[in-house]
Amino acid sequence: MDKQQTAPKNFVPTPFAYRQIVELEIDDLNNLGVGVGRIDGWVVMVPFALGGERVKARVYRNRKNFSEADLVEVVRPSPDRVKPLCPLFGTCGGCQYQHLAYSAQLEWKRKQVRDLVKRIGGIEFEVSPTHPSPVQYGYRSKLTPHYERPRGGDMPVGFVMQGRRSSLVDVPQCPIASKAINEALPAARERIKKSNPRRGGTLLLRDCAEGVCQDNTAIRTERVGGISYQFCAGEFFQNNPHILPELVQYAIEQAKGARNLVDAYCGVGVFALAAAKDFENVAGVEISSKAIVCANANAKINNIKNCEFLIGKAETIFDGVAKKFDGAETSVIIDPPRAGCDTAFLEQLTAFAPERIVYVSCGPDTQARDLAYLTTHGYKLERLQPFDLFPQTRHIESVATLSKIG
C-alpha cells in the first residue's frame, strides 16, 4: 500500500478523514502567511491559498482546534493572485507570498501589524500604509543555504522544504537574492558537494562593497546613506540595502527633538552614526564585542566624534546612561532581536523616562506585547509604520514612535 495513502499512527480521524478533499472559502491569511478558512465553523489552514479564494484542499492533520490541509485546486482565484517567479515556490519554505501581487503583500502586512497590536497589545490603532521596498526581487544581500551529509550520492544544498522541519530542497538559484550572490552560488554549491562533508552545515554568501564574501569571520563594508559601516560578515546586518537607508532616516526623523540619543541593541552603529549629526551626544550599547569593535571603528572611519559605544547588555544600559544623559532631553532608539525586550529592560527604559522612544522591530508580535507595557507605563503611541524589508515573504519590519505623557 502506498504510504502516502495510509494515515499516520497518531492521526486523529475527526473531523476529517486522512487525505479527505474539502472545499472551502479562504477568509484571511494568518501571520505565517497561511490561508485560513472555515467549514461549519471549524478552522482549516491551507498554505498558499489567498484571502477571498475558494479552494479544494487535502487534509493531512487534525489538531485540537483546527485542521491542516494541502492546496489541491483554486476553484475561484483572487484577483491578487499572480504567477510566482521561482519554480520552487511552494516547495521551498523560504517565500510565502510570491503568488500575491506586491500591492496586496503590502496591505496584508499592514493588516498583520494592526491585528497583532490589537490582539496582543490590546491597542486599537490606525497603522500607516506599509513602506514598499524599491526592489522586490534580487534584493537580499545575504544568503545562507544549508546542506546535509551526503546520503547515497544525494546532497541537497538549499533551504528547508515547505511544511517540514529539517528536510531540504535543492536550490540552484534564488530569485530574491542579489545578482552577485546568484552568480557566486553555483561554484559555492559545487565546492561543498566536492568536499564530501561528514556532517551538515550552512554556507554564507554575503554581497557587500568588496564583492561576495563566504568567510564568516571576514570584515566587510556596506554603505548606507553616506555612512560606511564595517561589520563581520557572519554577524547581523540588515539584508535589504535598497530600503535600509529609508528605514534608518525614518527612525532618526522620529527620534529628533531631543539633545541626546541612546541606541540600544546598536549593532555596528547603523542608527547611532547616521543620527550623530542631529544630536549633541549619542551612546550605543551592544552585547556583541565584535559588533562594538566595528562600531568604534566605524565612528573613526566616518570621523564622527560625538558617539560612544559600550559593550554590555541592553538590559542594564540605563544604569550608566542615566549618569550622562537626562531622560527628559534624550530620545531612545531600540532595535531588539525577534524575541523583543524583556521586562527588566522595559522597567529600566521607563524609569529613565526618555522624551521619545522609537521601537524598530522585526517581530511585530513581540513589539505588540512590549507596546502594551509602554503604553501603560507613561507613553503614548503616536505612529506605527511598517517597512517591507522582506518582499515575497511573510516577514515585516515595524517602527513604533512613542512620546512621554506629561
> CB–CB of 251/279 below 8 Å?
no
Q: Is 362 a catalytic residue?
A: yes
What SS3 state is found at 68?
strand
| Cell 550599547 -> residue | 285
Q: Is 397 a catalytic residue?
A: yes
> CB–CB of 387/359 below 8 Å?
no
- CA–CA gap between residue 20 and residue 70 (Å, rounded): 10
Bridge partners, residue 260, by sequence: 281, 330
- CA–CA gap between residue 296 and residue 275 (Å, rounded): 15
Count CB atoms within 10 A of the CB of residue 284. 30
C-alpha angle 329-263-397 in degrees, rounded to nearest 5: 120
Sign of the torsion formed by the C-alpha atoms of 107, 247, 342 and 160: positive
> CB–CB of 385/250 below 8 Å?
yes
| Cell 517565500 -> residue | 95
- CA 174 to chain CA centroid, Å, is 18
| Cell 502516502 -> residue | 4
- CA–CA gap between residue 304 and residue 3 (Å, rounded): 64
AA identity, residue 204: L
CB contact set of 4 (below 8 Å; sequence gap of 6+): 19
> CB–CB of 284/310 below 8 Å?
yes
- Identified catalytic residue from 25, 68, 362, 382: 362
- CA–CA gap between residue 327 and residue 62 (Å, rounded): 52
User: What is the chain's alpha carbon radius of gyration, rounded to the nearest angstrom?
Assistant: 23
User: Residues with catalytic annotation?
Assistant: 362, 397
